[in-house]
Amino acid sequence: MLEENAAVQELIDQALREAGHRVLSTKHALEAVELARRVRIDVLVAGVLLEERTHALINELRSIQPGLHVVGICDPDDDLQGIERSMRLSSPFALDHLRDAVAAGLESRE
């Protein structure tokens, strides 16, 4: 989980843990890259970031972990390259939609 807003990060962490997922969180892109070098990430949930930062980060993470699925939380007008439309959540979003997107990412990774 990569989210810059601590309150949003805590809410998402709690929702995913309650759904039975192990969650690693950071609010820094560089720390997310370091985590990807040490730990297999099944699905990355990336909070609202600038479009160009998101694209560069996803490319870097996928160079470390090819095929990484990303659930992107974004503004409806964002054109986030590298994140499938079905894996994008418009902010604000329902926690059920987040859980469904993460589950879909896990299913397609298997």
- Single out the residue of 110, 98, 109 nearest to residue 23, CA to CA: 98
Using CA atoms, how far apart are residues 89 and 91, in angstroms rounded to an integer? 6
Using CA atoms, how far apart are residues 34 and 20, in angstroms rounded to an integer? 24
Residue 110, pLDDT score: 57
**Structural domain contains residue 1:** no
Tens digit of each residue's pLDDT (9 = 90 or more) over 21-52: 999 988 888 888 999 999 999 898 887 665 55
Domain residues for the domain of 14 are 6-109
Please, are residues 65 and 82 in contact by the beta-carbon 8 Å criterion?
A: no
Tens digit of each residue's pLDDT (9 = 90 or more) over 5-24: 788 889 989 999 999 999 99
What pTM does this model have? Answer: 0.79
Residue 56, pLDDT score: 81
* 109 has pLDDT over 80: no
**Structural domain contains residue 67:** yes
In the structure encoding, which two tokens stand for residue 15, read together? 């929702």
**Domain containing residue 57: CATH number:** 3.40.50.2300
83 phi and psi angles, rounded to 5 deg = -120, 120
Please, are residues 91 and 75 in contact by the beta-carbon 8 Å criterion?
A: yes
Residue 65, pLDDT score: 93
Domain count, the chain: 1
